[in-house]
Amino acid sequence: MRDFRYHRPADVAEAVALLDAEPEAAYLAGGTNLVDLMKLGVQRPDLLVDVTRLPLDTVEPLPGGGLRIGATVRNSDLAAHPVVRRDHPLLARALLAGASGQLRNMATTAGNLLQRTRCVYFQDTGKACNKREPGTGCAARHGQNRDLAILGWSEFCVATHPSDLAVALVALDAVVEAHDPGGAREIPLTELHRTPGLHPERETTLPRGALITAVRIPPLLFARRSTYLKVRDRATFAFAVGSVAAALDLAGDVVRDIRLAYGAVAHRPWRAYRAEEALRGRPFTAELAARAADAELAAARPLEHNEFKVPLIRNLTVRALTELARAVSR
């Protein structure tokens, strides 16, 4: 591992100024991803700016049922928060589906959103990877791509985003609050992560040096009827092969409103707008849910080893929405 300097800033302004002044600095929060990548030589910051002692670790219920989650709230604390468990169960389920208890005790809200892909070639400095080293190629495009993207990929990168939490937050129309050298800004979570295009090394729309300070969830009363389903190769401590975050609002048997997002299918959490549109205003049936998923997945371009993800996501959609519909009607 490359030698590095360490600094603990007094406030957000000092943290942002440090990143602005030091081109090879990086923010350190829980370190559960960054430190691994430093050991592998994939990331080589020469200064770590430790933001874990900044006062960004509270969960605040907002008027009308919204929620403001500080950037350094630990994943375990957020999953156990009584308001999250009552009003946004998909968040608690997404968090508890991720990593291990020990990692959740360390990992933070913002760190979870900004974690890097688990594409095996990205983590292997001996392999071609446009994300790690722009212009070197993509070893996964015709290599081990079973776990990688079916939607929105480019010839430059077929990686997926590994966060479970991000999928749930995208479904909830969450907004990221951040500070950068230009001041404060807000970014809808649906616009935070990029598709790879020609530049997979650019993973988010955050400006250089920006520090996420909080994530805000707008009021959504029917989020109390929400869920997160994740398929993975092991029952615990494994990244998703596919996942679905869903919230459903029924009036009788008619879909009054819905939120739906997919994970482990693209370079960013995938909000399933087409599927939502196909469901809204129609009587709910499992067959309708399957047709809605098909409408979303019509744009899928599976790779050599991951065609199975298309029926997997369709079946997860049907299961998640059917379970929610049954819960509503009870």
- The answer to whether 121 contacts ligand SF4 (rule: CB under 6 A) is yes
| Stretch of 37-45, 47-55, 124-132, 182-190 lying at the interface with ligand SF4 (CB under 6 A) | 124-132
Task: Considering only the C-alpha atoms of the chain, give the largest distance between any 2 of them, rounded to a whole number of Å.
Answer: 62
Separation CA 87–CA 263 (nearest Å) = 21
Residues in the chain: 330
| Stretch of 39-47, 102-110, 135-143, 238-246 lying at the interface with ligand SF4 (CB under 6 A) | 135-143
| Stretch of 34-42, 83-91, 131-139, 277-285 lying at the interface with ligand SF4 (CB under 6 A) | 131-139
Say if CB 15 and CB 51 are below 8 A apart. Answer: yes
The nearest distance, CB 122 to ligand SF4, in angstroms, is 4
Which H/E stretch holds residue 248?
A: strand 242-251
Long-range contacts of 177-180 (CB under 8 A, 24+ apart): 177/212, 177/213, 177/214, 177/215, 177/216, 178/206, 178/210, 178/211, 178/212, 178/213, 179/12, 179/13, 179/16, 179/210, 179/211, 179/213, 180/16, 180/20, 180/206, 180/207, 180/208, 180/209, 180/210, 180/211
- The answer to whether 119 contacts ligand SF4 (rule: CB under 6 A) is yes
Nearer of residues 159 and 292 to ligand SF4, judged by Cβ: 159
In eight-state DSSP terms, residue 127 is: S
- The answer to whether 138 contacts ligand SF4 (rule: CB under 6 A) is yes
The nearest distance, CB 303 to ligand SF4, in angstroms, is 10
Say if CB 153 and CB 266 are below 8 A apart. Answer: yes
Nearer of residues 34 and 138 to ligand SF4, judged by Cβ: 138
| Stretch of 115-123, 165-173, 174-182, 241-249 lying at the interface with ligand SF4 (CB under 6 A) | 115-123
Dihedral over Cα of 253, 255, 256, 260: its sign: positive
Nearer of residues 31 and 137 to ligand SF4, judged by Cβ: 137
The nearest distance, CB 43 to ligand SF4, in angstroms, is 13
Residues 139-198 that bind ligand SF4 (CB under 6 A): 139-140, 148, 157-159
Report the residue from 93, 104, 118, 131 that binds ligand SF4 according to the rule CB under 6 A. Answer: 131
The nearest distance, CB 145 to ligand SF4, in angstroms, is 7
Nearer of residues 63 and 135 to ligand SF4, judged by Cβ: 135
CB atoms within 10 A of CB 29: 26
Nearer of residues 91 and 241 to ligand SF4, judged by Cβ: 241
Q: What burial class does residue 97 get, using C-beta atoms within 10 Å of its C-beta: 0-12 exposed, 13-18 middle, 19+ buried?
A: buried
- The answer to whether 116 contacts ligand SF4 (rule: CB under 6 A) is no
Note the residues at the interface with ligand SF4 (CB under 6 A): 117, 119, 121-122, 129-131, 138-140, 148, 157-159, 200
